[in-house]
Amino acid sequence: MPHADPVTLPAEVMPALQGAIPATIVTCALDGEPNATTVSQVHYVDRNHVALSFQFFSKTIRNVRENPYAAVQVINPVDFSVWLFDLRYDHSETEGPLFDDMDMKLEAIASMTGMSDVFKLRGADVYEVLAVRKAPWRRT
């Protein structure tokens, strides 16, 4: 465990985890090749865990299963403050309350756009939040 005391996500960051503004995630393959991509939402799980939806096989999904560390930038849509997370991929859930919650939200959107058959949640990838800090800049 890199930290004896687990971090706690501050209340201020919560609006950033509603999916209003896409987040950016950076991972790294075992061979050291980095990958940055956009995800529609970083889900709040508990005070030191977040989850990303696993809908399609992507570089990110593959990378974190080889090398669990990831860096994420989320933006609070209220004040446009930028938050930086250090994450470590922990596990992927395919059932349970978290999966259901994410699945429902995905289904709600998909069903409104005729994409129910495409937008299927394969898993809820749960990451431990190793560190969270507010960036000294704002999104312009």
Which residues sit at the interface with other proteins, rule CB under 8 A? Answer: 14-15, 18-22, 40-41, 77-78, 81, 100-101, 104-105, 107-116, 118-119, 136-138, 140
Closer Cβ to other proteins, 1 or 11, answer by number:
11
We find the least distance from the C-beta atom of residue 17 to other proteins, in angstroms, to be: 9
DSSP-based three-state secondary structure for 12: helix
Cα–Cα dist 1/114, whole Å? 44
Q: How far is the CB of 19 from other proteins (least distance, A)?
A: 5
Question: Of the two residues 7 and 29, which places its CB atom closer to other proteins in the complex?
Answer: 7
Nearer to other proteins, 22 or 68 (CB): 22
Residues 6+ apart with CB under 8 A from 95: none
Compute the radius of gyration of the chain from its Cα atoms: 15
**Cα 62 to Cα 67: distance, rounded to the nearest angstrom:** 9
Here the tokens at position 33 are 């090749």
Q: Find the DSSP H helices in the chain.
A: 59-66, 97-112
Tell me whether residue 30 or residue 113 sits nearer to other proteins (CB atom): 113
CB of 33 to other proteins, least distance (A): 24
Minimum distance of other proteins from residue 77's CB (angstroms): 5
